[in-house]
Structure 1
Amino acid sequence: MKTIIYYIVIIVVAASVFSCSDFLDKTPIDQIAADEYFTDEASAESAVRAIYRSLESSTYYGQSMILIPEFAAGHVQNVYNYPEFVNFEQNDIRIDNPWVLNIWTASYSSINAANNVIARVPDMTGQISDEKKQQFVNEAKFIRALVYFNLVRSWGDVPLITSPTDASTSLGELQVSRTPEAQIYTHIIADLTDAANLPMTYTSLDQTKGRATQNAAKALLSKVYLYQGDYEQSASFAKEVIDSGDTLTADYPSIWLTENSGESIFELQFDAQATNPFATVSNPTSSALFFAKDTVYKFYEEGDKRRDFTLNFQNNRYYIGKYRNYNPATQNVPVIRMSEIYLIYAEAQARVSNSPAGEPYQYYKAVRDRAAIETPAGDTFDLNSFITAVQREKRLELMFEGEAWYDYARTDLALTEMMTVPDEKRYLFPIPQTEREINQNLGQNDAYQ
């Protein structure tokens, strides 16, 4: 099977005409040589739109990038209990696991599409302003940063590829070694720092929906700095996003039942033309392949309003309740939303202050207040117990959103609360064996050697 480092084409939109009233109008995606494609503003915007589209594939946020971390966290099950899924829950992933390869391949496909925009758009000579050029480049940098963040959380050291590949790229140039994790993070932060210059909103709501914005870049920066242990920067960026004016949506289910809710910071757009593969297979239909584990129900306190929406009990099963727009499967996917930023700020600021008192406690409590559950008094927490409480709250708040596994691995909470076989070396997935056979410069993570 060819994988993305060898699948060297630019993903762009074939149609040269699109509606300016809807940034994410669905048009066919094709593969066109870069030098033939980047000719004017319309073609550049189509190329940017194609990068967003690439995130929606079934091998990325359209299914795998949500589902696989949820298997690792022990939250979901497959109707047939196929080993390729069960192995994630058992922390015993084979080096030839197809889902590991799928996510890896999809990641580098999106990165290559972003690299093409970043490399080609600044040199365009057609009808396009410098301001638009910079906007498109910064949108591509946001997506590249997001994908590399997921890569480094999943595999640690990974190849850092910042130049586009095409049919003329030599085999030798594609033999890329793994780049140290710290260097990947440096590059992610540089991309997001540039992306933080994006507009807060675009010319219309239709143009803004599904698009990277200044707040999306700052929210992701806050999250990246949290994973790096730079809590001052994490708290600072989280607070900037919080202070921008958006708040929690009062009705928790409306985050998914209403597209682009006021809480959504970055949300992928699906519709009847570009449907959501995960919604198709996670709801009570004949196509259902994945269910929630019964144990998830017990994680929630009695009276927690999130529980009966997050878990959709029908036909004597708990279905994955957040992706209910399945007929047709037009369910959007909120990738970053405000409640996560509240909880990131609560943890980061508590670490900076060496205390949960004040704002850290208030933002933690705000998330629980919306869920209609009582929060213990602030003076009942010390710093460590508060951080653990925040992480557990994040697990419940973001259930079935592909986040809890990474967050628990970040602080070693996965060892005691998720892993069947506690082993910190197995926080990371194996480098796909197919990739290693093609590229002899790729090493393997310690647990899989």
Structure 2
Amino acid sequence: MKRYHSIKTYMAAALLLAASVSCEDELDLYPISQEVADNAYSTGTQIEAALTGVYESFQSSQYYAWDFVMAEDIRSDNYYAGGDNPEIFAYDRVDLSPTNSRVNALWASVYNAISKANLVLEKTPEVTENITEERKDQILGEAYFLRAYHYFVLVKNFGDVPLYINFVSSADPADTRLPRSSKEEVYAQIVSDLNNALTRLPDTYGSDASVNKARATKGAANALLAKVYAQMPTPDYTAVLAHANAVINSPAGYSLLSNYDELFDGNHYNNAESIIEIQYLGGNEGNWGPQMHLPPSVSGDNWRKFTTPSHDLVDAFDSEGDNIRKNATILFENVSWVDEYWGNATNSSVPFAYKWRNAGSWASSDDIYLLRLADIILMKAEAQNELGQTADAATTVNLVRNRAGLANLNSDATASQSAMRMAILKERRLELAQEGHRWSDLVRFGMAQEVMNSVDDIDLSTGQSVNYAVDEHDLLMPIPQAEINRNPNLEQNPGY
């Protein structure tokens, strides 16, 4: 299948500019001469390469390649850490510290992507050679969407964060060492960026799905707006419903696949349900994440894997009789190592995360969904319920349940707004496990502390219950200490 993929070769000046925020140091920027910047981005080819560099951040970032599963699924009740990495154990136990290098990598790599988007937003209006005004407008729309997506990741994880909305080409601390903006200000910027994107983006770029699912579209902007309006400190569920409906009724023709398993079998990427996904070709454009969690029979190796499905997640599938989604999400296999949650002895049967299924020797061609329709349908149901339309919400949820071979919600689930709220939260869990949504869902529903402190996990190596002891400060990650050391204007989140 033809696939839209990243341009890997940049001219030297383009690389210098786009990478002005290093992976290790988000705030200590190097001065870039205006002359170099002006010369580097004067043609359509050059600005297209710069835009490709923004998309490439999804592939090159450790966060988007795998750590988003740690932040959303391992940190929640969905998965245990597995493996042998103390910093990942800290995610599992909801016990993050400001010196955790994975937290620092999240901050640095996402700000790196924002810097690249800012460069495109600044330079595109100045380009006059070999480009149409229509394409320039589309490029701006794509860059606005991408910047908004990255800031959404930051504000969900850290709360207040510095807002860099201009490309930094100076070493002046006044430009490089901004204080944190309030989360309300960050969300306002995200909404502004996405509205700017909506006015510029097409529904599709033509008939090639591998292009339409690789690039920002109106559908992607509306989908992200639906999620943003729900997640912000004061949700606007009227806006959530409007933007979810815009996706569902889009001329792009999004629709649920009839077979849930085909979303993840590796043969049906860029499908009708996908809104936007990270494109991997394998080889030097491969996805290393699947090798981290697939069982020996699939991965071809025999070391202890990460992202182990929890008893609580398995029980949630079983309590619903949800075999279709369970079997597409989890694969059980006997292993040669000892797992302290599943058997605590060699040759025990252990569950494995299974939504990426092709290891590819650290170079998989498995894509990652950034946004897909089932998520947005369930966002619509959430909005309907919060707006008092509980019966309509049940009808919407049943679209997703029926695709999974499940009957309509029973009368207990639809008896009240609060009961429906819990049914929607559970439905999102079963539908979207391992796709990087669970922690944000728990926080949005105001359930993170209650759920995590009610989990009944037993560490079989000690026979003791695990006490997650989640309190309000755990809802956000700490600001990386390395960034605070570099930028005296940054303040730490409370409790760290």
Superposition deviation, residue 383 in structure 1:
0.5
**2:3–2:279: 8 Å Cα contact kept in structure 1?**
no
Partner of 2:16: 32
1:397 matches 2:445: no
Greater Cα offset, 415-424 or 360-369 = 415-424
- Give the Cα–Cα distance (whole angstroms) in 2 for the partners of residues 237 and 291 of structure 1: 33
**2:3–2:281: 8 Å Cα contact kept in structure 1?**
no
1:331 matches 2:366: yes
Give the TM-score of the pair, scaled to structure 1.
Answer: 0.90
**1:249–1:255: 8 Å Cα contact kept in structure 2?**
yes
Q: RMSD of the TM alignment (CA)?
A: 1.8
**1:320–1:400: 8 Å Cα contact kept in structure 2?**
yes
Equivalent of residue 394 in structure 2, options 361, 366, 370: 361
Partner of 1:4: none
1:406 matches 2:437: no
Letter in 2 for 1:382: S
**2:87–2:100: 8 Å Cα contact kept in structure 1?**
yes
Greater Cα offset, 418-427 or 157-166 = 418-427
Equivalent of residue 486 in structure 2, options 416, 427, 438: 438
Q: Which deviations, in whole Å up to 9, do the C-alpha atoms of 1:84-116 show, x marking residues without a partner?
A: 112223222111011110110011000000000
**1:121–1:137: 8 Å Cα contact kept in structure 2?**
yes
Partner of 1:278: 289
Query: Within 5 Å, which residues of 2 pair with 1:341-356?
Result: 341-352=376-387, 354-356=388-390
**1:355–1:382: 8 Å Cα contact kept in structure 2?**
no
Equivalent of residue 249 in structure 1, options 240, 254, 257: 257
1:311 matches 2:330: yes
1:235 matches 2:241: yes
Q: Which deviations, in whole Å up to 9, do the C-alpha atoms of 1:256-293 show, x marking residues without a partner?
A: 22111110011110112311121121212326631323
Equivalent of residue 54 in structure 2, options 31, 37, 51: 51
**2:4–2:279: 8 Å Cα contact kept in structure 1?**
no
% same residue: 31
Superposition deviation, residue 253 in structure 1:
1.4
- Give the Cα–Cα distance (whole angstroms) in 2 for the partners of residues 243 and 125 of structure 1: 36
**1:211–1:266: 8 Å Cα contact kept in structure 2?**
yes
Query: Within 5 Å, which residues of 2 pair with 1:195-234?
Result: 195-197=197-199, 198-205=201-208, 206-228=210-232, 229-234=235-240
Superposition deviation, residue 42 in structure 1:
1.6
Letter in 2 for 1:157: D
Superposition deviation, residue 215 in structure 1:
0.5
**1:291–1:318: 8 Å Cα contact kept in structure 2?**
no
Partner of 2:101: 98
**2:157–2:477: 8 Å Cα contact kept in structure 1?**
yes
Superposition deviation, residue 303 in structure 1:
4.1
Q: What are the ranges of 5 or more consecutive residues in structure 1 without an aligned counterpart?
A: 1-20
Superposition deviation, residue 68 in structure 1:
2.5
- Name the SS for the 1:292 alignment partner: strand
Superposition deviation, residue 157 in structure 1:
0.2
Query: Within 5 Å, which residues of 2 pair with 1:15-164?
Result: 23-28=4-9, 31-33=15-17, 34-164=37-167
Greater Cα offset, 244-253 or 180-189 = 244-253
For residues 442 and 152 of structure 1, do their structure 2 counterparts lie closer, same or farther at Cα, with a shift above 3 Å needed?
same
The count of aligned residue pairs is 425
- Name the SS for the 1:357 alignment partner: helix
Letter in 1 for 2:309: K
- Give the Cα–Cα distance (whole angstroms) in 2 for the partners of residues 303 and 181 of structure 1: 37
- Give the Cα–Cα distance (whole angstroms) in 2 for the partners of residues 79 and 426 of structure 1: 21
